[in-house]
Chain A
Amino acid sequence: MLRSMAADDPAAFLRSMLGEWEKMANSVGGAMLRSDEWSRGMNTASGATMNAQAASKDMMERALAAAQMPSRAEFEDLSARLARIEAALERIELRVAGGTPVAATKPRPSRSRKPPEAKG
Chain B
Amino acid sequence: MPTDPFTTAAAEFERAMLRNIKGLDYFTTAGPTLGATPKDVLVERGTMRLYHYRPRVDDVYRVPILLVMATTNRGYIFDMVPGQSLVEYLLDAGFDVFMLDWEAPRPDERRLRLQDYVLDFIPSAVARVQAETGESDVSVVGYCFGGVLSLLWAALEGDGVLANLVTFTTPVDFSKMEMFQAWADRRFFDVDRLVDTFGNCPGDYLYTAFDMLRPGTRVAGNIRLVDQLHDDAFVKSFRMFDRWAADILPLAGEYFRETTHALMWENRLNEGTMTVAGRQIDLSRIISPFLHVAAEHDHIVPTPASAPLLGMVGSRDKEEVMLKGGHVSLVAGGNAIRRLWPKLVTWLGSRST
Contacts and interface: CB of A to CB of B under 8 A. Distances in A.
Interface of A: 4, 7-11, 15, 18-19, 21-26, 29-30, 33-36, 38-40, 42-44, 46-47, 50-51, 53-54, 73, 77, 80, 84, 87, 102-103, 106-107, 109-118
Nearest to A112: B59
B32 to A, nearest CB: 24
A50 B197 contact: yes
Interface residues of B, number: 56
A118 B353 contact: yes
A50 B204 CA distance: 12
Contact of A115 (B193, B227, B353): B353
B145 to A, nearest CB: 21
Nearest to B227: A15
Contacts of B108: 77
A47 B188 CA distance: 10
Given A18-B224, A29-B216, 7 more contacts: A8-B2, A8-B8, A38-B182, A50-B193, A87-B41, A110-B59, A111-B61
A33 B180 CA distance: 10
Nearest to B104: A80
Interface stretch (B50-58, B115-123, B284-292): B50-58
B190 interface: yes
B179 A80 contact: no
Instruction: Point out which of B52, B187, B197, B224 has the most chain A C-beta atoms below 10 A from its C-beta.
Output: B197
A11 B12 CA distance: 8
B182 A43 contact: no
A32 to B, nearest CB: 8
Contacts of B41: 87
Nearest to A51: B197
B223 A18 contact: yes
A29 B215 contact: yes
A9 B44 contact: no
Interface string B19-55: 0000000000000000000001100100000001011
Nearest to B62: A111
A19 B216 CA distance: 10
A80 B46 CA distance: 9
A113 B40 contact: no
A55 B87 CA distance: 45
B234 interface: no
B344 interface: no
Contacts of A42: 183, 188
B96 interface: yes
A23, A42, A77: most-surrounded residue (chain B CB, <10 A): A42
Contact of B182 (A7, A39, A44, A112): A39
A26 B8 CA distance: 31
A21 B133 contact: no
Determine which residue in A15, A21, A26 has the highest number of CB atoms from chain B within 10 A of its CB, and name it. Answer: A26
Contacts of B265: none
A7 B223 CA distance: 22
B160 interface: no
B179 A33 contact: yes
Nearest to A38: B182
Contact of B44 (A11, A19, A54, A87): A87
A53 B148 CA distance: 32
Give 5 nearest A-B pairs by CB, closest first: A25-B216, A29-B215, A22-B220, A115-B349, A43-B188
A22 B217 contact: yes
Given A9-B8, A33-B182, A39-B185, A26 B135 contact: no
Given A25-B219, A50-B198, A54-B197, A113 B188 contact: no
Given A8-B2, A109-B58, A111-B60, A102 B193 contact: no
B129 to A, nearest CB: 13
Interface in B335-353: 346, 349-350, 352-353
